[in-house]
Amino acid sequence: MERPDVLERSELFGVYGGLMSGHFLGGDYLRAARIAGNEHSYWMCHTGARNIRKPAGTPGTLTGKILSFRRLVPGQPFLVYKPVGEMPEEQASSLGFQETPLVIPGGHDTCLSHIPIMSTYYQAFRDRAGTPVIHVEAGSWTLIAQIGGKVDIPPDACERDILVQGTVDGQPVVTARYGGGHDFKYVKELFAARGIRFGADCNESLLVEVLKDSDCFLLPNINSVNRLSGPYPHLSGKILNEDAFFGSTEKAFVVTNLTTAIVTSVQVDAIGKNGSIPLVLTAGGSRDPYFGRLLATVTGRDVYGMYDFEGNAVSETTSLGAAIAGKAACLKVHPYTVDVSGLGVSYRKLRPFGDDISRLLDGYRERLLAEIERAPA
């Protein structure tokens, strides 16, 4: 948000990635903000903002660098599943509640979306309780977050759209980002402008044809929304060989999917070097029968999808996370221990493509990354 009184008293504003990454890394916040630029003015102040190498709750240096920080941000950290009080009786009565509801702190949408992953994953695989997981939330923004475990943050994190969020307990969650869904939407609009429906039926023969031909590529950030974000913030994406791309909507769909999967894998590797850490896929990408298998193949990791009792992919987890946090507060337990069996969520390991396709995909990945390297900034 932009507030004139805050702007007047603030020395500098930076984009979200620069502000949070620079601060959480424990370096000079102002330097990180300058690196990020001043294209957008965001006021991102969190009580838990801190150097992640220090214990949760340790105040960050940001608190002393922005005048009246403590007037705007509470000094006492709150856990999302711990009640902070009760709704006033008069208000509860006016809303028709027969009992006085508990009030719990809010949470960032992405942080809340992690709760159902960990609750259901740890209960589905009880022998893995407490082990790290990478949550790939493949929506408009593809957010790749490692929850748990030690993470080595790249030295150029604030330049590659890698930031640090927090779990419900205030532990660091290193998160990388790429606007895969934004690029998909833009390509869909390009085809719509030509009166063509964008999409394809998933089949391996089409994928093999695209991988063998390798006659067109989609460079990431073709959607201007993605500029100054993702692993290639200064890249302006484009289509290489438009005749081939627009000559087949099915082929273009596969090419776009390949770009999203490969760029996502770049961000996965940036925050999680340990290839044994599995991925859990949610959001729009989880409904795409191509994407999960491509991700499993290109990363070489175990990739899991979440499914409801009717067999549909569980794509939206943020509101579910808020519900689980609320139940945890009422029961006075940790959200990861809330009994979620009634949700009927099951996990399926997504099958990677075979060795022949995997080899072709490795070659395609190398060529795409080479084109990205050659592209002018």
The predicted-structure confidence for 42-63, as pLDDT tens digits, reads as follows 333 333 345 556 665 566 665 6
Alpha-carbon torsion, ordered 55, 57, 63, 69, to 10 deg: 170
pLDDT of residue 190 exceeding 70: yes
In the DSSP assignment, the letter for residue 313 is B
Query: Which range (3-7, 14-18, 322-326) has the least confidence?
Result: 14-18
pLDDT score recorded for residue 77: 64
Tokens found for residue 215: 């006659």
Tokens found for residue 377: 């900034």
CA 269 to chain centre: 14
**CB-based burial label for 166 (10 Å; 0-12, 13-18, 19+):** buried
Q: Considering only residues 38 and 153, tell me which one the structure prediction assigns the higher pLDDT.
A: 153
Q: With contact defined as beta carbons under 8 Å apart, do 65 and 30 qualify?
A: yes
Distances (CA, A) of 123 to 324, 336, 340: 14, 8, 8
Q: With contact defined as beta carbons under 8 Å apart, do 38 and 9 qualify?
A: no
Tokens found for residue 192: 């719509």
Domain with CATH 3.30.420.40 in the chain: 108-377
pLDDT per residue over 59-99, tens digit each?
666 566 666 666 655 666 677 788 888 888 888 899 898 88
pLDDT per residue over 237-282, tens digit each?
999 999 999 999 999 999 999 999 999 999 999 888 889 999 999 9
pLDDT confidence band for 201 (50 / 70 / 90) = confident
pLDDT score recorded for residue 352: 95
Percentage with pLDDT > 90 across the chain? 42
| Angstrom distance (rounded) from CA 145 to CA 262 | 16
Query: Which range (161-170, 249-258, 347-356) has the least confidence?
Result: 161-170
**CB-based burial label for 13 (10 Å; 0-12, 13-18, 19+):** buried
From the list 29, 63, 289, 302, the residue with the least C-alpha distance to 163 is 29
Mean pLDDT of the chain: 82
| Angstrom distance (rounded) from CA 328 to CA 82 | 8
Tokens found for residue 202: 């998933």
pLDDT score recorded for residue 53: 62
Q: Considering only residues 226 and 35, tell me which one the structure prediction assigns the higher pLDDT.
A: 226
pLDDT confidence band for 207 (50 / 70 / 90) = very high
Give the mean model confidence (pLDDT) for residues 213-217.
91
pLDDT score recorded for residue 191: 96
Q: With contact defined as beta carbons under 8 Å apart, do 305 and 292 qualify?
A: yes
| Angstrom distance (rounded) from CA 60 to CA 38 | 22
pLDDT per residue over 126-138, tens digit each?
899 889 999 999 9
pLDDT score recorded for residue 305: 94
pLDDT of residue 27 exceeding 50: no
Question: Quick one: 108-377 is in which CATH superfamily?
Answer: ATPase, nucleotide binding domain (3.30.420.40)
pLDDT score recorded for residue 46: 37
281 SS3 class = strand
Give the mean model confidence (pLDDT) for residues 286-295.
91
146 SS3 class = strand
Phi-psi region of 366 (alpha: psi -120 to 50; beta: other; left: phi over 0): alpha
Our CA angle for 338, 341, 344, nearest 5°, is: 135
pLDDT confidence band for 20 (50 / 70 / 90) = very low
Query: Which range (58-67, 285-294, 362-371) has the least confidence?
Result: 58-67
pLDDT per residue over 334-348, tens digit each?
888 899 988 889 999
Sign, CA dihedral 219-220-223-227, equals negative
Q: Considering only residues 161 and 310, tell me which one the structure prediction assigns the higher pLDDT.
A: 310
Is the pTM value of this prediction over 0.85?
no
Query: Which range (35-44, 48-57, 174-183) has the least confidence?
Result: 35-44
Helical ranges in the chain per DSSP H: 4-9, 16-24, 29-36, 69-72, 89-94, 109-124, 180-193, 204-213, 242-246, 249-271, 289-299, 318-331, 355-374
Q: With contact defined as beta carbons under 8 Å apart, do 246 and 193 qualify?
A: no
Q: Buried b vs exposed e over 67-85: b needs ≥16 C-beta within 10 Å?
A: eebeeeeeeebbbbbebee
Identity of the residue numbered 328: A
pLDDT of residue 331 exceeding 70: yes
Our CA angle for 240, 243, 249, nearest 5°, is: 95
Alpha-carbon torsion, ordered 53, 56, 60, 63, to 10 deg: 170
